[in-house]
Structure 1
Amino acid sequence: MRLPARRLLPATAITAASALLTGCFAGTESATGTGDGKRVRVAMMQPPRSGLSPLSDDAFKLSRWSTAETLVRLDEDGDARPALATGWRQSGRTWTFEIRDGVTFHDGTELDAGSVVRSLTEAASASPKPRILDGVELTAKAADAGTVTVTTATEDPLVPQRLSSPQLSVLAAKAYRGRTVNPVGAGTGPFALTAVHGTASATLDRYDAYWGGRAKAPGIDVTFVPDGTARAAALRSGEADIVEAIPVSQAAVLDQDLITEVPMPRTNTLYLNNAEGAFADPALRAAAREAIDADAIVKGVYEGRADAAEGLLGPALPWAAKLREPVARGARAGDPKGAAITIGTYTDRSEMPEVAALLQQQLQKAGFEVKLDVREYTNIEADALAGRFDAFVLSRATVLDSGDPAAYLYSDFASDGTFNLSQFADEGVDTGLEKAADTEVGDARRAAVVAAEAAVLAADAAVPLLHERVVQGDAAGVVGAAHDPRERELVTVNTYVK
């Protein structure tokens, strides 16, 4: 890939970034439990939103710090593999999981079937539920000290994948004694969470009794740095060892040997309102699709650090490209004749307004009259879900929490999908989506998923633009940092700083 021309940060930006970083990583040498070697200093983008409760999106932080673990993990293909459970079997609506022996929580108590049942029951009865259990009725029971049965209201081939979600982490009893779930000192991973300082920082120390072997680093010091320029400056100045989510605009000014780009299961998509307005006309949906130049968006907005989309599922799911066939389109492009449309998007991801502006130019060139409505996501989501835009630009995770794209496709494109921004309804597509969701995990399910994707694209329910990459910075002395497309791993048992 040809790298963009090197650019220098303005002095004012460097000064601002340095001010933001002052004190961010101070005091890590004196943190408790330093042990041997160097502690890993991590700069993360988003501070905790729910006090690091595993029942929220904060669960992914606990997973990335290797402090909370689940019964199951996912391999590169999204297939379930043993973690705190060593094996499982299905009988109708019930799955039986064998719990790993010799595991202790960070408070010294032992992992057993009762511990698992307590954590899963807390999640299943939470309000709101973790999103991996949205629409799922799940009951967990201890068959004996080392065996747990999980039963769902309907037969569900994805139960093991669901149980890989960080939001279903298994914690010690102490985590559930307050009004909220408190993960401090309650996980089973190689690092014990010892302190959380609001939305500023967190401290983790190595847990020497970890069932998977002693971690190579003595601990982790996390600082939350929402400002992208400041995070990049932390890597450049040597104040952080690992920096997540470096903005594309900053990546070009860093030492490229310190940058790793990993394809994410996240697609930047233009959802077209199929129910009303200009795009209720299939010919105008086709006209919009043909007018869009995704390569120009990749180069102009993402500076080449993204992949132009061939479908809704990108290179983070390599099996999709192998199975995909050319899409048979259902309509020919019509003449927009000045059709007025409004595109909505949000400011929370800095690239979205720029993407929308380029789309505006491309669609206007094709003959549409285009207005933009750009707000913070919390202020625009309700209108988007209600179909108040002709089109909406969204950066969307395509495997959600189960590692399986069938749930995303159903949510976004089924007639009764809960995130159907396109207001799309097609009985034939519904049948294909249901087949994908009900098919047993494996090659047959993947084929059904790709067939459902083709049906959605044939109707121009949405136009996939590009697949994002996560840009991560690792200092020269970092060894073994994870580069995980699903953003579940970051510092692992094998990560250390020379």
Structure 2
Amino acid sequence: MRLPARRLLPLTALTAASTLLTGCFTGDGTASAGAEGTRVRVAMMQPPRSGLSPLSDDAFKLSRWSTAETLVKLDAEGDAEPALATSWRQNGRTWTFEIRDGVTFHDGTRLDADAVVRSLTRAATAAPKPRILDGVDLTAKAAGARTVTVTTAAEDPLVPQRLSSPQLSILAARAYDGRTVNPVGAGTGPFELTQVNGTSSATLDRYDAYWGGRAKAPGIDVRFVPDGTARAAALRSGEADIVEAVPVSQAALLDADLVTEVPMPRTNTLYLNTAKGAFEDAGLRAAAREAVDAASIVKGVYEGRADLAEGLLGPALPWAAGLREPVTRAKAGNPAGRSITLGTFTDRAELPEVAAALQQQLQKAGFTVRLEVREYAAIEADALSGAFDAFLLSRATVLDSGDPAAYLYSDFASDGSFNLSRFTDRSVDAALRKAGATPTGDARRRAVIAAEAAVLAADAAVPLLHERVIQGDAPGVVGAAHDPRERELVTAATYVE
């Protein structure tokens, strides 16, 4: 039963929010206002895991704060449009990009072809590479003061979309002084990252020389608050202006006009370890798939605020359902007496509860299930190394390029950098390569769905549901982005009245 929208949160939750947020925002919980307006206070879910390096998933924080920018951005349909590059053209394996004039980095240096080449080369030669470059050999060269050529080993129709990934942000030379990449004072966006306090907070100030026009807010104060109840309480108590990833369990406790819900390309997926243990057996993978009752999880855990998965790609890609055909799978084996370890993380508030429901469902089918739950930063390495028999993940399916082929390759190719299933299959690899090489349009979409079917046929992963963005905006917040791709949050147009 859904609770009334205006029910007060427990005092303990409000106290937790105050404890977590004080120190970044003003001590009395009010917004910090200067002569030129009010700073935007943001409560973020996950703290930085890699020092805000743009070569990691931390890049999406830089993008959501509008401090780091890319050559290309994506429109609502996922098509490429100009950003730091004003135009581009293709000639076989080589794409030529014209670089925007009049852009300066936050340290005052100018954007030119050499700066672009430096950033792209650092990403292309990183170990590991940013996942948007999985399976892609990319070389960038200056062809003039404001012209850059990008050449790939094989003809790649998605180069502009790839270059929209926040992991390929263009930063000033100062960011690359040493082995790590430090984005402080090195972006080109409307807000300059001026201070990072470990995994607790970050501060950004308006960059008045921004090429796209002066931002409306004087700055952004960010606090990292992994606890979902505390984030929601911070919105209710007035200690935060924008709260990302409001837990489903908390959404009903907030006034309806403070909450925005947007379907997003994010799937809750149970990855099964195909390399060792119980799920090396295709029949036991099939047994796990048949044991899962995702509909009860959507109804019970998500209170109906999610969409039941028919595949890895959800309603945020409306073309997927119409192209999908029935998949032939292995018959279920007998799991009686087989012990498995199921892992997940606490950073997304619903996942521990989903994992507990899965534990019960799998045990009912005959498995013996041990559940292991930690913060994501403390569990990712074990998940990638194959330490779990099954791992529950909330996974963005078009986060990087606006196209799902990169996600499918990263997660299910033999050499994919995020292959939690430890999955290796030559026919699937071939389907993934075909999807990645097919020109954009209907043919590519059909190839993507064929690759999805190949993965599902092997039961390397069991898709459960597709999430929705639930974001909280306090009264007085104007122009906050509600982005299903989770690339934008505070933009130059965002301010607090």
TM over 0.5: yes
In structure 2, what is the equivalent of residue 391 of structure 1? Answer: 390
Aligned-pair CA distance for 1:279? 4.5
Partner of 1:290: 290
- 2:342 is paired with a residue whose SS is strand
Instruction: Give runs of aligned pairs for residues 348-387 of structure 1, distance below 5 A.
Output: 348-349=346-347, 350-365=349-364, 367-376=365-374, 377=376, 384-385=383-384
Question: In structure 2, the residue corresponding to 1:320 is in which secondary structure?
Answer: helix
Give runs of aligned pairs for residues 119-138 of structure 1, distance below 5 A. Answer: 119-138=119-138
- Determine if contact 2:68/2:187 at 8 Å carries over to the other structure: yes
Opposite residue 154 of structure 2, the aligned amino acid is T
**Equivalent residue runs for 1:3-18 within 5 Å:** 8-18=8-18
Report the equivalent of 2:407: 408
The residue type equivalent to 1:458 in the other structure is A
Q: Work out whether residues 134 and 410 of structure 2, in 8 Å CA contact, stay in contact via their aligned partners in 1.
A: no
How far apart in 2 are the matches of 1:130 and 1:260?
31
Provide the C-alpha distance between the structure 1 equivalents of 2:278 and 2:31, rounded to a whole number of angstroms.
61
Q: Aligned partners of 2:351, 2:235: CA distance in 1, in Å?
A: 25
Cα deviation, residue 95, structure 1? 1.3
Tell me which residue corresponds to 2:486.
487
Pick closer, same or farther for the CA change 1:391–1:198 going to 2, 3 Å: closer
Q: Any gaps of 5 or more consecutive residues in structure 2?
A: none
198 and 293 in structure 1: CA distance in 2 versus 1, 3 angstrom threshold? closer
Code of the aligned partner of 1:475: A
In structure 2, do the counterparts of structure 1 residues 389 and 234 end up closer, same or farther at CA, with 3 Å as the change threshold? closer
Instruction: Give the aligned residue type for 1:370.
Output: T
Contact 2:44 2:223 in 1 (8 A): yes
Task: For 1:233 and 1:488, locate their aligned partners in 2 and report how far apart those are by CA, in whole Å.
Answer: 24
Residue 63 of structure 1, CA deviation: 0.9
Which residue identity is paired with 1:355? V
Q: Deviations over 1:305-364 (max 9, x none)?
A: 222111101122222223323x13234456x37252414112334433322221232233
Of 475-484 and 112-121, the range deviating more from structure 2: 112-121
For the residues of structure 2 that align with 1:253 and 1:19, how far apart are their CA atoms? 20
Q: Which amino acid aligns with 2:199?
A: T
Q: 1:236 and 1:174, CA in 2 relative to 1: closer, same or farther beyond 3 A?
A: same
Aligned-residue offset at 1:173: 2.8
Alignment of 1:231-270 (within 5 A): 231-270=231-270
| Aligned-partner SS, 1:164 | coil
Stretch of structure 1 that moved more, 478-487 or 311-320: 311-320
Give runs of aligned pairs for residues 186-201 of structure 1, distance below 5 A: 186-201=186-201
Change in 2 beyond 3 A, CA 1:236/1:90: same
How far apart, CA to CA, are the structure 1 residues paired with 2:167 and 2:312? 25
Q: Deviations over 1:126-152 (max 9, x none)?
A: 444433334433221111111101122
Separation (CA, whole Å) in 2 of partners of 1:461 and 1:30: 49
CA 1:339–1:277 in structure 2 vs 1: closer, same or farther (change >3 Å)? farther
CA distance in 2, matches of 1:232, 1:134: 36
Q: Secondary structure at the match of 1:144?
A: coil
- For residues 151-182 of structure 1, give each alpha carbon's deviation from its aligned partner in whole angstroms, at most 9, with x where no partner exists: 22333322222211112211223333456433
Q: Partner of 1:455 in structure 2?
A: 454
Map 1:104-123 → 2, pairs under 5 A: 104-123=104-123
Q: How many residues align?
A: 492
Q: Does 1:442 align with 2:426?
A: no
Q: Which amino acid aligns with 1:372?
A: R
Report the AA paired with residue 310 of structure 1: E
Q: Which amino acid letter does the alignment assign opposite residue 301 of structure 2?
A: V
Contact 1:343 1:393 in 2 (8 A): no
Provide the C-alpha distance between the structure 1 equivalents of 2:342 and 2:136, rounded to a whole number of angstroms.
31
Identity rate, percent: 78
Secondary structure of residue in 2 paired with 1:222? strand
- Residue 92 of structure 1 and its aligned partner are, at CA, apart by 2.4
Counterpart amino acid of residue 243 in structure 1: V
Provide the C-alpha distance between the structure 2 equivalents of 1:303 and 1:250, rounded to a whole number of angstroms: 11
* Secondary structure at 1:119 match in 2: helix
* Cα contact 2:131–2:410 (8 A) shared by 1: no
Range that drifts further, 420-429 or 149-158: 420-429
Aligned equivalents of 1:216, 1:238: Cα separation in 2: 21
Equivalent-residue separation in structure 1 for 2:65 and 2:469 (angstroms): 17
Matched, 1:39 2:53: no
Q: CA deviation at 1:390?
A: 4.4
How far apart in 1 are the matches of 2:193 and 2:384?
A: 38
Q: Which moved more, 1:481-490 or 1:178-187?
A: 178-187
CA distance in structure 2 between the aligned counterparts of 1:103 and 1:419, rounded to whole angstroms: 35
User: Post-superposition shift, 1:382?
Assistant: 5.7
**Mapping for residues 188-337 of structure 1, pairs under 5 Å:** 188-274=188-274, 279=279, 282-325=282-325, 327-333=326-332, 336=334
Whether the 8 Å CA contact 1:414–1:430 is kept in 2: the answer is yes
Residue type at the aligned position of 1:347: F
Is the Cα contact below 8 Å between 1:96 and 1:149 reproduced in 2? Answer: yes
1:413 maps to amino acid: F
Equivalent-residue separation in structure 2 for 1:454 and 1:14 (angstroms): 46
Q: Measured at CA, do residues 262 and 385 of structure 1 come closer, stay the same or move farther in structure 2, by a change above 3 Å?
A: same
Q: Distance in 2 between matches of 1:49 and 1:277?
A: 29
User: 8 Å contact 2:113–2:144 — kept in the other structure?
Assistant: yes
User: TM-score with structure 2 length normalisation?
Assistant: 0.89
One-letter amino acid of the counterpart of residue 409, structure 1: L
> Whole-Å Cα distance in 2 between the matches of residues 26 and 338 of structure 1?
57
Secondary structure of the residue aligned to 2:359 is: helix
Kept in 2, the 8 Å contact 1:40–1:497? The answer is: yes
